[in-house]
Structure 1
Amino acid sequence: MSKFLYIADPMCSWCYAFSLELQKLLDRIPHAELDIVLGGLRAYNTEVMDDDTRQMILSHWQRVQEVSGLPFDMNGLNKPGFIFDTEPACRAVVAVKLLADDLDAKQILNVFRAVQHAFYAQGLDVTKDEVLAQVCVDALNQGQGDGAFDVASFLETLQAPSTREETRLHFEQIQRWGIRGFPVLCLVKESGLHMIASGYAKLEQVEANLLELIGS
């Protein structure tokens, strides 16, 4: 059985683009396992976004949209006092992993992609715990059935000190590995981690890299 490690941040635009390609890969390998390590692209940022930074990010989003064809709400960054802190969104995925460790690869990625869609396509403020709790619970219940998870309980886990600490450990692991850019996809083998994508890549390229690695 193939096992993959996906290193990403829900608020990384190239991760938003690549997660669709990863979903396609998992569709072709239905019994594959997937683990997600959260990257912390702009974790713990405290600076209010200024106009220059906003325009720089929007130009970057336009490029990602052109390449991926995915929807973007370009007004999502216009909220007064918006702080581009990716720790809460990463922590939400960690909370999902802690609450529902029996989820299969596709279900985990579905929740991850739901947070991405909320931020990029819907323009929701996923730096807010209440927004994240609703998005994650909706995605979880879509896969598990209505009522399997509730917002209040999820919010409690999301804000728990243990979840914050677990999220910080994700970031520290990324630093130990020396990874500075996202997304990264690795094949997990007994010999260690073997990178099959670094940065955005189409499904065809990922599959070619995977076949080359398996063949070697």
Structure 2
Amino acid sequence: MELMELMELIYVADPMCSWCYGFGKELSALVTRFPDLPLGVVVGGLRAGATDIMDDAARNVRLQHWARVEQASGMPFNREGLLAREDFVYDTEPVCRAVVTARILAGQDNLLAVFDALQHAFYMDALDTTDGGVLAGITSQVLTRLGYGVDAAAFEAAWRAPATVAETQADFALARSWGVTSFPTLLLRVGRELHGITTGYASAGMIEHRLASVLEQMPARA
């Protein structure tokens, strides 16, 4: 792609969105196919700031979503982990803020690895990804493995910083300003222009086809 250096693929998502979890392997496959296409991550805040305790009805709705995601994507879920939760508030702001913290500390390049680890922690390990200490432990391990010297205490301090809270809220506002209302959403930035690629679950092949279609419609540039 001649315009590759002017392009950025933007992933708008939430680690505690089950469709984003199912979509993860497709996005990873796409990134492998286009190693020179930068990927930016914007967290959307699926249920940011939620305060309601998850009751049986809400739990059953989640399980129904998980079943559909599993059928479409093949990704496994630890249903017993969800059923065992007591007094759980499905607030996605903390986990979104963990992604933003990783971006502040280590840049955009490795955010998919952070995303994947947080998703696995919630959907398979049944860890409480609304808890700052848990988030710090998960994410600091990923960053350390990738070569960034960030321990859990330093990560949690950065996660709690008012500037990090503000940057997370700015991500939510940016997603809304783009008209993004569901996750995952993929956008392609070409210069100052944004182009919608996909909304919702899609295979890597489908996304590649959509990318090609968008690029074909662009005027030739010198």
What interval of TM-score do these two structures reach, taking the shorter chain for normalisation? over 0.9
Post-superposition Cα deviations, 1:154-184, rounded to whole Å, max 9, x if no partner, equal 0000011111111111111222222211110
Residue in structure 2 matched with residue 168 of structure 1 by the alignment? 169
Q: Return the TM-score normalized by structure 2.
A: 0.91
Q: Give me the whole-angstrom Cα distance separating, in 2, the residues matched to 1:202 and 1:123.
A: 26
Q: Partner amino acid for 1:186?
A: L
Cα drift, residue 191 of structure 1: 4.8
Q: Give me the whole-angstrom Cα distance separating, in 2, the residues matched to 1:186 and 1:19.
A: 16
Q: Does 1:177 align with 2:178?
A: yes
Greater CA drift, 187-196 or 203-212: 187-196
Post-superposition Cα deviations, 1:24-49, rounded to whole Å, max 9, x if no partner, equal 01111112211111100000001110
Q: Give me the whole-angstrom Cα distance separating, in 1, the residues matched to 2:32 and 2:147.
A: 19
Q: Give me the whole-angstrom Cα distance separating, in 1, the residues matched to 2:181 and 2:81.
A: 25
User: Structure 2 unaligned runs (5+)?
Assistant: 218-222
Please provide the CA RMSD for this pair.
Answer: 1.2
Q: Partner amino acid for 2:91?
A: D
Q: Give me the whole-angstrom Cα distance separating, in 2, the residues matched to 1:56 and 1:140.
A: 34
Bigger-Rg structure (1/2) = 2
Post-superposition Cα deviations, 1:13-66, rounded to whole Å, max 9, x if no partner, equal 001111211110111111221111110000000111000010111111011011
Match of 2:79 among 68, 74, 81: 74
Q: Give me the whole-angstrom Cα distance separating, in 2, the residues matched to 1:29 and 1:177.
A: 24
User: Structure 1 unaligned runs (5+)?
Assistant: none
Matches within 5 A, 1:60-71: 60-71=65-76
Q: Give me the whole-angstrom Cα distance separating, in 1, the residues matched to 2:155 and 2:129.
A: 15
Match of 2:113 among 110, 115, 128: 110
Q: Aligned with 2:11: secondary structure? A: strand
Q: Partner amino acid for 1:177?
A: W
Cα drift, residue 10 of structure 1: 0.5
Q: Partner amino acid for 2:178?
A: W
Q: Return the TM-score normalized by structure 1.
A: 0.94
Q: Aligned with 1:196: secondary structure? A: strand
Cα drift, residue 140 of structure 1: 1.2
Q: Give me the whole-angstrom Cα distance separating, in 2, the residues matched to 1:80 and 1:191.
A: 46
Q: Does 1:93 align with 2:99?
A: yes
Q: In 2, are the aligned partners of 1:12 and 1:41 still within 8 Å (CA)? A: yes
Q: Does 1:43 align with 2:44?
A: no
Identity across the alignment (%): 44
Q: In 2, are the aligned partners of 1:72 and 1:122 still within 8 Å (CA)? A: no
- Going from structure 1 to structure 2, the CA distance change for 1:188 and 1:83 (only over 3 Å counts) comes to same
Q: Partner amino acid for 1:214?
A: L
Q: In 2, are the aligned partners of 1:7 and 1:185 still within 8 Å (CA)? A: yes
